[in-house]
Amino acid sequence: MNSAVRRFLLFFFSIATLASCDDPTDIGIDLQDENQIGTDFTDTITINTGTVLLTDSILSFKTTPAQAGILSDPVLGTLKATTYTEVALNGSDLSFGENPQVDSLVLTLDYSFIYGNKTQPLKLNVFRLTEGFQEKASYFTSTTLAKEATPLGSATLVPLLYEKKKQFDVDSTAAKRLVKIKLPQSLIDEFVAQSGQSPLKSQDNFEAFFKGLAIAPEGAPSSILALNLAADSSKIVMHYRNGTNKKKHIFRFAQSPAVSYFTNFEGNRAGTVVESLNQAGDFLPATEENGKESYIQNNTQLVTKLTLPYLQKFKEATGSIIINRAELILPIKANSTSVLPAPPQLVAYQTNSTNRILKDVNGSAIAVQQNGVGQLNGTNFPAALFYDAKRSRYTLNITSYFQAMLLDKKPNTGLLLATATVVPSQGGNSITPEIRPYRTIITNTDNNKVQLVVYYSKLK
């Protein structure tokens, strides 16, 4: 059998073996026998890590969920979230009738996610906006709008998602906890004074009169809440009477497509290990001084960069090879996820010396693609790194990508790891930005290091 045939058969059976595995751990990191016939193994390829402050702004306009709160990260400092939102008139030509007697005007907010210290009270203030939304403006996580100095109202709560009660020995869901804020008489009087007038005739007129609300935290850090602005229970309700007839009007939020909103995130990294990351593209290597750690924090543009500085030496030492399996392993720092859980998914983006996420001619981010699916240089099948809580790590099959780097079909310019969600879409997958405030700490010490586990076969 000549050498060309042997190479073809070796490549064929390598691909067939990979394709036959339903579980990604069937080959690679869980292989125990390093002396398989015709297969070599290494897990000593050096991988350097560090933290980058991304250059790209993060769009926040109408991204769900909206968020409000403040948390303390013992490593990365404090993170504050403020939601800015318009309010829907929920009707037209609104009138409260003759001589309405208003009993209350109450804001309620539904929430479905708590991130941070769930045992500490959280104080939220609601402010009236003095600056409205602009139709052609862009709104990012760094954007703010002007608001009044004094809040319309406040609420302090220890967030809980549900109360449980037991009936007939079966757990059932009772009333959901809501943020409830009573709004002042001065605002009631303003609304009543406009009854049947121009400001209450249409949504556009209402927005000119009442530009919206800012929902912002105050006081000691505790947690950040994901607000369900489109929920039925997120609303402003005016209870009033015309004589003996009790009535109410409900002002809505994101249920109306005309309503704009976004979340601003403000990180304070003063006195932290990442304090020096101020300019877009700044890089902080994982060194002994910072415990050989790198960081990913959503909404503040902190991502982890991976580089393979000695890939050329590996190529020279191994010669012509076929990669049977290349598995990237990213360990998470022990005991770092109890209060601030790691994100469910990460995405690995291609980068360069400027520490930007590279994009193709269509403006799509270039991410590592699912192994063996789609085109190597395509963007339709981005791969997700799923968090393994049991093993406290992320893994990624980069067999095709690593082989392409060895063949100089992909540049060895590094990868940026960022929070994101990969979701199925027509003709492939799409990357959806993760807006929830997850963070994670990747460790790269001698005892718990980032690894590239490679099984390969030499061509002769």
Could you say which of 268, 288, 312 is where a domain stops? 268
Q: Supply 244's token pair.
A: 């003996």
**CB-based contacts of 407: which residues, under 8 Å, 6+ apart?**
none
Domain around 186: 66-268
Separation between Cα atoms, residue 172 and residue 183, nearest integer Å = 32
Domain-located, residue 60: no
Whether residues 255 and 290 fall in one domain = no
Q: Are residues 381 and 253 in the same domain?
A: no
What is the tally of structural domains in the chain?
2
Are 165 and 106 in a shared domain? Answer: yes
- Residues 108 and 210 placed together within one structural domain of the fold: yes
- On whether both 27 and 107 belong to a single domain, the answer is no
- How far is it, in rounded angstroms, from Cα 335 to Cα 48? 23
Q: Which helix (H) or strand (E) holds 403?
A: helix 399-406
Asked if residues 357 and 370 have their Cβ atoms less than 8 Å apart, the reply is no
The angle formed by the CA atoms of residues 251, 256 and 258, to the nearest 5 degrees, is 110
Structure tokens at 31: 């292989």
Q: Which amino acid is at 369?
A: Q
234 and 373 housed in the same domain: no
**274 within domain boundaries:** no
Q: Which residue has the tokens 């303390």?
A: 72
Enumerate residues 6+ apart whose C-beta is below 8 A from 342.
Answer: 332, 336, 387, 389, 438, 439, 440
Strand partners, 122: 157
**201 CB-contact burial (10 Å; exposed 0-12 / middle 13-18 / buried 19+):** middle
On whether residue 273 sits in a domain, the answer given is: no
Whether 191 and 334 share a structural domain:
no
Contact, 84 vs 115, CB < 8 A?
A: no
Residue 395's nearest CA partner among 431, 371, 414, 423 is: 371
Kindly state whether residue 80 falls inside one of the protein's structural domains.
Answer: yes
pTM attached to this predicted model: 0.86
Q: Is 425 exposed, middle or buried (0-12, 13-18, 19+ CB in 10 A)?
A: exposed
Residue bearing tokens 């998914």: 345
pLDDT tens for each residue of the chain, 460 residues long: 454 444 444 444 444 444 434 333 333 444 444 444 468 999 999 999 999 999 777 889 999 999 999 999 999 999 999 999 999 999 999 999 988 999 999 999 999 999 999 999 999 999 999 999 999 999 999 999 999 999 999 999 999 876 555 444 444 444 567 999 999 999 999 999 999 999 999 999 999 999 999 999 999 999 999 999 999 999 999 999 988 889 999 999 998 888 999 999 999 999 999 999 999 899 999 999 899 999 999 999 999 999 999 999 999 999 999 999 999 999 999 999 999 999 999 999 999 999 999 999 888 899 999 988 767 778 889 999 999 999 999 999 999 999 999 999 999 999 999 999 998 877 788 898 889 999 999 999 999 999 999 999 988 7
Q: How far apart are CA 81 and CA 71, in angstroms?
A: 9
Judge if 244 and 321 occupy the same domain.
Answer: no
Distance CA 174, CA 197 (A): 41
CB 247 within 8 A of CB 86: no
DSSP string, 93-144: S----SS-EEEEEEEEEEEEEEEE-TTS-EEEEEEEBSS---TT---BTT--
Residue 143 in any domain: the answer is yes
Last residue of a domain, one of 248, 268, 288: 268
Distance CA 274, CA 284 (A): 7
* N-to-C CA span, the chain: 13
Neighbours of 261 (CB within 10 A): 25
Q: How far apart are CA 133 and CA 211, in angstroms?
A: 8
pLDDT value of residue 38: 63
Between CA 54 and CA 224, with CA 269 as vertex, the angle to 5 degrees is 90
Last residue in a domain, options 214, 242, 268: 268
Please name which of 109, 126, 101 lies closest in space to residue 248, comparing C-alpha atoms: 101
Comparing CA positions, the residue from 411, 410, 402, 405 lying closest to residue 451 is: 402
